A and B are shown apart, each in its own frame.
Chain A
Amino acid sequence: MSNVFINGTDTVGVAGHCGPDVRSDLQVRIEPRERDGLQIKIESRVDAYYGDSIRRQTEEVLEALAVRHASVEIHDEGALPFVIAARIEAAARHAGLGEGTRVLPPQLPLREPRARDRMRRSRLYVPGSEPKYFINAALHGSDGIILDLEDSVHVSEKEAARLLVRNALRAVDFFECERMVRINQVPLGLQDLEEIVPECPDLILIPKVEEPQQVIAVDERIGKIKADYGINRPVWLMPILESALGIENAFAIARAGEQIVALTVGLEDYTADLGVAKTPTGSETLYARQRVVNAARAAGLQAIDSVFGDVAEMEGLRAWGVGSRALGFEGMGCVHPAQIAVIHEAFAPSAAELEKAHRIVAAYNEAQAKGFGVVSLGSKMIDAPVVQRALKLTARAREMGLLS
């Protein structure tokens, strides 16, 4: 892979964060030398408990990276082992060392591949450069976790975040959440794939898609990496449309690859592109959102809404979610775990809807049993798409825990 050298000279490598307000991270500074072996200086908030372990791990990672002569300084704020490994590797690469070597933490057993049409009501964004949020992210019950390499990561930290997210995919238990990664915009995003895809993420979000070719490029690169690593599991795709042009090309993008399972929309960038203000009611983005829903449905995909940015405003979020479901979206993004429960409520079918769906399903079952071709409820004939919708609704309600 190519290196992106940033933030420093080409001889001293730095990665990570430290300081009194930093938790669960560390900063590593590596200065390569010609000789005299390794000089490792470690300061750690958890020195009394894990000082020896940190030193041992540091030596092992440097050994694996074939770093033999260097001055290494570590300021640790209680980082977990997978973070320590990623930061040392990033600092070494930043210093021009360890080229082509990946130092991977032990891998947790992979869970079953996620179904193409699984429930995607909520996806929680976690900044890819903030390891303190990783470890408990999946406890909060969202359907998906997005480890973000794009907007939440400063340009100087792209490579370090990539290694951190790669290690997190191996070492962090995300329980039943769908493990999603938002890569950078193509072409930088293609480099992200080299580190990410071997760790079998369930889904890749592709930002700022405007043309089908961008999705095709990602799809092809993923296919190649999967073949290189002998990976058979699916890696689903979710393009994010965030511009007027992207919205115009929604249907073509939706049909750009077999692995696409959902279309979503990024309203911050979209309203900026339009040159309008984003409002709590979202009337300025109604067209774009409807267009996305229609294109997604036309291509047989899920339509997923944007995020609601105000984390203190729960009633606004609820109203947005309810409106979003009414438009045909099946979920939305979360920027804080507190939003998850509200979103799940907003995207849950009402008791009346469920009741009606039950009656339709019962009528359908009865018609099937009696061998009738036509399903009727009272005096009304029920069309096949309505039956399909009722079946899907009850199945989803079961997944949501609303039905036993």
Chain B
Amino acid sequence: MAILEKTELLTNAVGRIVPEIVNGRSQVPYMGVGKCQPIGRKAAPPVRTAADYPANGDKRVASLEIALRKCGLRDGMVISSHHHLRDGDRVALMALEAASLVGAKNLMWFPSASFPSQKSAIALMEAGVIDHIEGSMNGPLGDYCTQGKMRGIGVLRSHGGRWQAIQDGEVHIDIAVIAAPTADPFGNCDGSHGKSACGSLGFALADSIYADRVIVVTDNLVPFPCIPWQIQGNNVDCVVEVDSIGDPAKIVSGTTQITRSPDRLRIAEFIARFLRDAGIMRDGFSFQAGSGGIALAFVSYLKPMMKKAGVKARFVRGGSTKYLVELLEEGFTDYILDGQTFDLDGVRSIASNPRHIATSPFTSYNYHGKGNFASMVDAVVLGATEVDINFNANVVTHSDGRLLHGIGGWQNCLSSGCTILAVPSFRDRIPVIVDQVTTLCGPGELVDVVATERGIAINPRRQDLIEAVKGSNLPIRPIEDIKKEVERICGGKPRLPRRGDTPVAIVKWVDGTVIDTVWQVP
């Protein structure tokens, strides 16, 4: 905690208290949407020489431990991994445990997201192998961090923010470990085929380009060339073959299930009707819907409306699921631009349909790109843990401040033409519509619509949307009105959570500035 004691706390542009120095690095407090404009040149990996690599292209080594030694693993290094294998991933822990055998200490683990099945990372933190995690933390890892047990401070970034941090040098990856459902000995690899197929490998793309060293781990080694490849072997140092990179049952679900909750179905239907009545659903439009129950159900309500109106989308954005694949196969969209693949139908489609394209956080979300897809999407449906009366939203913590979710692409998606948060107005007895969010992850100026089971609130900044749905029979209500009703139902406002004075994690905005702090929960 030596670093923390020296840390000054500053107030950022949304009034949140954030630390000035995190893990020894100076931070820039959030300045406002699009206000941060860094200058300089992008980071780059060291110059390499083809002469140093086998002429026959065979980069196989016998084990991860040997690969890590070969890549020069030392104390304090940054090890990265991707989360396309989701809760089924075995490779990230395999790599960290191998690092432990090599004797490395104080590593920074830089996953694109962590999952509950990776909870044994706690033991590696206790043993001093891992100093801290920069990446989403939930379940047991989230609790470990929130309780202040992690030595360093957690850093939560969006998918786009992770790419930004790599590109502007905020995070330098020493060794990237890339789990690959199919790879060849040269290191070309892909996620669409193999017994552990997961669809796209887009989250690992930046790691492969910018890391000092890159290790590919596969359970489906094919002779060169691995076709198709998404990761280029020219960026890869070593290839390790293992029996299994993950538990297929947990990598993708068989079929993603639509919610059966009548309240959630009602929200989903409201959103579909909103897109229709606001005129957003028109020929050539685009939308993004994730894998949450409401988002899936929304697609199933929208499809018949599209059919009736005789319109098709130009593209839809995944996480792809059966429901998006059906839109593609039935001609309701020209393309799926897919960030990650959630179920078997998605995997099958991305492997076989040329109109189902794997994208990456670079194309989709990156702040340091010359634009990105997120702001070109007409509408996006997202979840949230809390929304306040100024439309600021929280997606990472419970109302009591405990870490619950990673940011994922959520922050990046807020720049769409119409950002819709689909939330129940309260969960158990806990209001979701509140005076002030516990952790501010998304500034209210980017949240356009909040759809709850008790009505739809439109951000007053979007008079155009308010005008567009005038005359529709949707239950449009002021957000304060919904909040008041919920507080009556719940028996008054909840007590504000008690929180500690010690930062345990920071929440980055898409540009690398610090938008809020996660505090130790006593």
Contact = CB atoms under 8 A, between A and B. Distances in A.
Interface of A: 23-24, 45-46, 48-53, 57, 77-81, 135-136, 139-140, 336-338
7 contacts: A49-B399, A49-B495, A50-B494, A50-B495, A53-B491, A139-B454, A140-B262
The 5 closest A-B pairs by CB, nearest first: A78-B428, A49-B494, A337-B262, A81-B491, A48-B400
Contacts of A79: 429
Nearest to B431: A49
Nearest to B495: A49
Choose among A46, A51, A78 the residue with the greatest number of B CB atoms under 10 Å from its CB. Answer: A46
A15 to B, nearest CB: 18
Contacts of B491: 50, 53, 57, 80-81
Contacts of B494: 46, 48-50
A78 B492 CA distance: 14
Contacts of B400: 48-49
Nearest to B401: A48
Given A48-B400, A48-B497, A136-B262, A53 B492 contact: yes
B44 interface: no
Given A46-B429, A49-B399, A338 B262 contact: yes
A80 B489 contact: yes
A80 B265 contact: no
A78 B490 CA distance: 9
B453 interface: yes
B16 interface: no
Given A48-B400, A338-B262, A139 B453 contact: yes
Contacts of B430: 46, 49, 78
Contacts of B74: none
Contacts of A135: 489
A139 B428 CA distance: 17
Given A48-B400, A135-B489, A136-B262, A24 B429 contact: yes
Nearest to B455: A139
Given A52-B495, A80-B491, A46 B262 contact: no
Interface in B252-307: 262-263, 265-266
Interface in B182-230: none
Nearest to B424: A136
Contacts of A336: 262
Contacts of A46: 428-430, 494
A61 to B, nearest CB: 13
Contacts of A49: 399-400, 429-430, 494-495, 497
Contacts of A53: 491-492, 495
A24 B428 contact: yes
A20 to B, nearest CB: 13
B495 A136 contact: no
Contacts of B489: 80, 135
Interface string B426-469: 01111000000000000000000000011000000000000000
B490 A136 contact: no
B427 to A, nearest CB: 8
A81 B489 CA distance: 8
A136 B428 contact: no
A24 B426 CA distance: 11
Given A136-B263, A140-B266, A77 B492 contact: no
Contacts of A50: 429, 490-491, 494-495
A178 to B, nearest CB: 19
A23 B247 CA distance: 31
A300 B44 CA distance: 85
A78 B266 contact: no
Given A140-B266, A338-B262, A48 B495 contact: yes
B495 A139 contact: no
B305 to A, nearest CB: 14
Contacts of A80: 429, 489-491
A72 B400 CA distance: 27
A79 B490 CA distance: 9
B429 A338 contact: no
Contact of A338 (B265, B427, B497): B265
Given A78-B429, A81-B491, A336-B262, A136 B497 contact: no
Contacts of A81: 491
Nearest to A82: B491
B262 to A, nearest CB: 4
B453 A45 contact: no
B428 A77 contact: yes
Nearest to B454: A139
A142 to B, nearest CB: 11
A106 to B, nearest CB: 10
A23 B428 contact: yes
Given A78-B429, A139-B266, A139-B453, 18 more contacts: A24-B429, A46-B430, A48-B400, A48-B495, A49-B429, A49-B430, A51-B495, A53-B491, A53-B492, A57-B491, A78-B430, A81-B491, A136-B453, A139-B263, A140-B262, A140-B266, A337-B262, A338-B262
Contacts of A78: 427-430
Nearest to A137: B262
Contacts of A45: 428
Nearest to A105: B491
Contacts of B429: 24, 46, 49-50, 78-80
A23 B427 CA distance: 9
Contacts of B490: 50, 80
Interface string B469-505: 0000000000000000000011110110110000000
A81 B490 CA distance: 7
Most interface-central of A46, A48, A79, A136 (chain B CB within 10 A): A48
A79 B489 CA distance: 11
Nearest to A79: B429
Nearest to B269: A341
Nearest to A57: B491
A50 B493 CA distance: 9
A282 B492 CA distance: 49
Nearest to A139: B453
A361 to B, nearest CB: 26
Contacts of B263: 136, 139
Nearest to B427: A78
Contacts of B492: 53
A45 B266 CA distance: 26
Contacts of A57: 491
A63 B229 CA distance: 72
